[in-house]
Amino acid sequence: MLGTGSMARLLRGVVAVLIVAATIQAYGPNLFFFFTILSNTLAVALLGGQALRPRWMGSNGLFRGGVTLYMTITGLVYAVLLAPLDIDVGAYAPWANYVHHTLAPAVVLIDWLLFPPLRKLDRQAPWIWLVFPAVYFVFSLIRGSITGWFPYPFLNLDELGAGGVALYSIVILGFFAGIGWFIRWWADERGVIPESGTT
């Protein structure tokens, strides 16, 4: 199977280690309330698992697709909304910021595009992938209302109000849905085993 060679395994393992190092370098009491950290943690599990058991990548399409979606959104939101405005995204060294927001998202997405899973994905996959970000948004809003701290400016109820946050949330979830559809479509086009029996 393509993508299971020693070089591909090594590269995935190296990126997984870099993500862990970048997460250790970052600090702060709210570290694991950032979507970036959560999605990168999932990426460590994905890349590390594929480095150790490369053939796993051929049959874990639902998990791979979800992580690919979350990491792609992490990179896009940072590049489009946060970086241009020089928004504070936590206590980061420049290299760690690059790993979390640019390198890792790019590697996970390219890995999916070059080596999609063998099995085609169920049509419901993009909707399943939306559950995690939807729960994250709701949790962040509830927690922020209690603590007064919001992980991202577009979730800040105090500054944007309910209407502004709702608008940003709908737009971002729309991106999730659109990119999720593309990720599923790509696997459907490249997959060689029918949907039935996929996981």
The domain of 169 spans 6-190
| Residue 63 in domain | yes
Cβ 191 vs Cβ 121: under 8 Å: yes
| Residue 43 in domain | yes
Q: Phi and psi of 91, rounded to 5°?
A: -85, 90
* pLDDT value, residue 42: 97
Q: Which of 24-28, 35-39, 110-114, 193-197 has the lowest mean pLDDT?
A: 193-197
| Residue 89 in domain | yes
| Residue 199 in domain | no
Greater model confidence, 40 or 121: 40
* pLDDT value, residue 88: 59
> pLDDT tens digits, residue range 30-48?
889 999 999 999 999 999 9
* Number of structural domains found in the chain: 1
Query: What pTM did the predictor assign?
Result: 0.88
> pLDDT tens digits, residue range 60-98?
889 999 999 999 999 998 898 777 766 655 657 889 989
The per-type count for the chain, helices as H runs and strands as E runs, is 7, 0
| Residue 21 in domain | yes
CA nearest neighbour of 37 among 47, 48, 22: 22
| Residue 1 in domain | no
